[in-house]
Structure 1
């Protein structure tokens, strides 16, 4: 048994507006289904996709605090000109420069219209076939421990593990990486960005949740009430959800 990462969940006060921002930023389409705005390629909701991680923008009443998100997106570029053009276009769409202590680096740190940080990377060969999202990046204390948990929790393949960084990617190839970066800061508040995971057809969601508990996941109560998905945290407290098979 294993779970598939299928969505990057972003919380926003104005979900439709943030959904439109990310759709234009990624060159995808925003699709509204009730209160939630889904962002993905192809002009319609295709979920789950075997490779692409969609973006799922969910409205919440609380605005983002000044605390930096511990999960963010890295966007891929193909040339220095592409990087500059993308940064300029994102600024027009409502992105703003963000200082997270990065110093003098070749990538550009921005925030979406509600302050969710993300990076526009300089061209890197490793991300040449990821699509617009190069990686979902998670701050953590122990990348090796995160690689063990997420490698067993999902069907993604571990590509790199050391004391400072771990990287996983879909076994199908293509699509973004899931990366864990060692950082000194500690998690203090619930994040506004997290992953949604989905069982494969025929797999039992309750059994998958029980398996995650044995790996070190913990139950999470955010006041979600009676919903078809299950909210959990990984061993370092990063939130994620296990969705019900459709």
Structure 2
């Protein structure tokens, strides 16, 4: 093939410009991610704009279930993905997207519709730019990924602590760092997904890897959106 490129992490030379299989794989990843975002958006809008339903969830101890259920789903995926079928993993991803929608429904009670739309558009632009860079760059982003994962762990811990102390200053710092971490993770994850394709191409697990790749990018986008909304959103 022309213009071989050495993919980071696996040492395999491939033509990233002409490989139809890679394009199909990446389209599958983004298609799954996009459907997940649609499910999340519809559920969030339904919950957030139905006063009785919102009160039943966010005005009772169920709010803690809504807050922690998405995190529980992520751990579930991490420990069970190897034993799942492709269809089972895809179904679990749709269920996760719906649960995340319940959790995100509260933003409609806190922020104006205009600021939600603005944060979503800003997140989409940043996400697509970093995804494109991650897909096209020949730079190995592995080392950058290690630092970003450390930053992600720090954000999770700090966010859990701030749930109980409610510091606005801490929330702002978390959001600023979060924007940097999740934009960087987007590029790193796209490159990792691309490398995984060459490693798993032709194997049955490749279809399952599309779902896992979609989950990673979905989480990056949703978290980037939330961080931007926290920073720039106009409150009701």
Decide: shared fold, TM above 0.5. no
Q: Which has the higher contact order (CA 8 A, sep 6+)?
A: 2
Please report the TM-score for the alignment, with normalisation by the length of structure 2.
Answer: 0.23
Q: Which has the larger radius of gyration?
A: 2
Please report the TM-score for the alignment, with normalisation by the length of structure 1.
Answer: 0.22
Structure 1 or 2: more strand by fraction: 1
